[in-house]
Structure 1
Amino acid sequence: MHVFLAGGTGAIGRLLLPLLRDAGHRVTATTRTEAGAGQLRAAGAAAVRLDVFDRAAVTEAVRAAAPEAVIHQLTALADYDFAANARIRREGTRNLVDAARAAGVRRIVAQSISWGYQGGDTPADEATPLDPDADRAALVGSLRVLESAAAELPEHVVLRYGMFYGPGTWYTPGGLVEERLRRGEVTAGPAVTSWLHVTDAARAAVAALDWPSGVVNVTDDEPAAAAQWVPALAAALGLPAPAASEAPRQPWERGADNSYARKVLGWEPVHPSWREGFARHLG
């Protein structure tokens, strides 16, 4: 299959490209820089320098590539720019979907997140509605736009990823969260998170090229409260654990259930628990 990979040099894209190539797919991948284009070519992809907000350029890039599927892995999270990230979800996804439709592409795999669900006391599955809470309107609204745009293509898989850790993420040695731990800005309270190593995120995107349309929680097997994972993260990074927090859990801080991916789609994470993953990859 010929795959158009939007975001070929990001934390997921750089791992996804060799996996796609190993699976026998031909890849056209995008990047914003000439250095990134060189990295993509060295990895065996046709490289396109592209600004996803340039609608005409996106249309032409997809038309010229004539792929059979688009994989959307674009974010601005490396720069910790939430406004730009929301704009990518809204405008960038719109441009990619419209370009795909114009080029006759039937399938898209798109990156979303698994902490946009409405509140509850147990991990959310895919039947759980997205959060209607007005306090989260900006975040959840951008997810709704991304996911509904992707669903316009006849074949569409939306990957609701867990919180990433590993190379290129905030949760890696020398990364943003290590700095926050050193400054005492990370609390160990009851808020629940579902985790995902970036390698497992990339593996799921390859598998999703063959999955039926719909949304899929892609997380590890062990949603956990910060009171559990923060001390483990600190230990892996060689830092003292912060004191326990008495702050209450927000209703949406509930984690996600990966049963559909595991039991129906047959996907299994290489790193089934953050416990093993933190110790192996962050130490």
Structure 2
Amino acid sequence: MKIFVAGASGVIGRILLPKLVEAGHEVTGMTRRKEQGQAIEELGAKAVIADAFNLKQMVNIISENQPDVVIHQLTALSQGSSAENARIRMEGTRNLVNAARQANVKKIIAQSISWAYEPGDEPAMEEVALDVHAPLPRSTTISGIAALESAVTEIPDYVILRYGTLYGPSTWYDKNGATAGQVRNHELTATDGVSSFIHVEDAANAAFLALAWPTGTYNIVDDEPAKGIDWLPVYADILNAPSPELQLGAGGWERGALNTKVKNVCGWNLHYPTWRTGFLEALR
């Protein structure tokens, strides 16, 4: 197949591209930074430099490439700005979908998140509503996700991957990442808030396998949703960092998510079923 990957130079894209190439697909990887073009080509894909906020440019590139599938991995996380990330999810996705529709693309696979659900007492399944009534600043993130997912469903065959918190190489949870730095500086408190994690290798593999998955929305998380009082001390210990302070309480939306649907419907298997073993390998 001809596959167009938007956001090909991101932490998932860099793992995904070789998988697609090795499977025999004709892959085009898009990045907005010229310096990333060579890295994309070294992974075996054709590189294109484009700005997702430029609709005309997106239409021209997608029409020229005529992909069978578009894989949407666009984010704006490097500056840690939720507003900029929401913007690319809204405006960038809108342009990507419009361009794909004009080129008669039949399938799109898109990155979403699994911590956008409305508050609840248990880890969320996919039928739980998004937290569209959340107050600021959380509403900025939710608005971006809601717009992204709504736009993606305009493509006849879509797969929305609601990723858990990413860890592994080049993520914030890498040993040299921002979160690791906060833990070493004793800046994070362990609470009862529940997180669902996913190793970047499993996240990229899900995007690869989704080429054959049926239309739908899937939580791409590991098997063990975990309270901060459980996972953060383990993470700190592996880093040889100070033990975090513990604090009771959590936000209602800090509930985690379950991967039951993607396992039952798609037969998905994880290389890292739990953050407990995944952290050890990722941080050693």
8 Å contact from structure 1 (residues 78, 168) kept in 2: no
Letter in 2 for 1:94: R
Equivalent residue, structure 1, for 2:187: 185
Equivalent residue, structure 2, for 1:90: 90
Q: Separation in 1 of the partners of 2:33 and 2:133?
A: 38
8 Å contact from structure 1 (residues 117, 131) kept in 2: yes
8 Å contact from structure 2 (residues 194, 227) kept in 1: yes
Aligned sequence identity (%):
47
Q: Separation in 2 of the partners of 1:78 and 1:238?
A: 26
Once the two structures are superposed, the pairs formed by residues 1-283 of structure 1 within 5 Å of their partners are 1-135=1-135, 136-246=138-248, 248-283=249-284
8 Å contact from structure 1 (residues 220, 272) kept in 2: yes
Moved more, 18-27 or 99-108: 18-27
Q: Which residues of structure 2 form unaligned runs of 5+?
A: none
Moved more, 77-86 or 53-62: 77-86
TM-score (norm 2): 0.97
* Structural RMSD (CA): 1.0
Per-residue CA deviation, residues 132-184 of structure 1 (Å, 9 max, x unaligned), is 33313221111110000000000011100000001111000111011111332
SS in 1 for 2:276: helix
How many Å apart are 1:22 and its aligned residue? 1.7
Aligned length: 282
Q: Separation in 2 of the partners of 1:206 and 1:109?
A: 9
TM-score (norm 1): 0.97
Q: Separation in 1 of the partners of 2:240 and 2:186?
A: 14
Moved over 2 A (4+): none
Q: Separation in 1 of the partners of 2:234 and 2:23?
A: 35
8 Å contact from structure 1 (residues 235, 241) kept in 2: yes
Moved more, 29-38 or 265-274: 29-38
8 Å contact from structure 2 (residues 132, 143) kept in 1: no
Q: Separation in 2 of the partners of 1:77 and 1:67?
A: 26
8 Å contact from structure 1 (residues 120, 254) kept in 2: yes
Q: Which residues of structure 1 form unaligned runs of 5+?
A: none
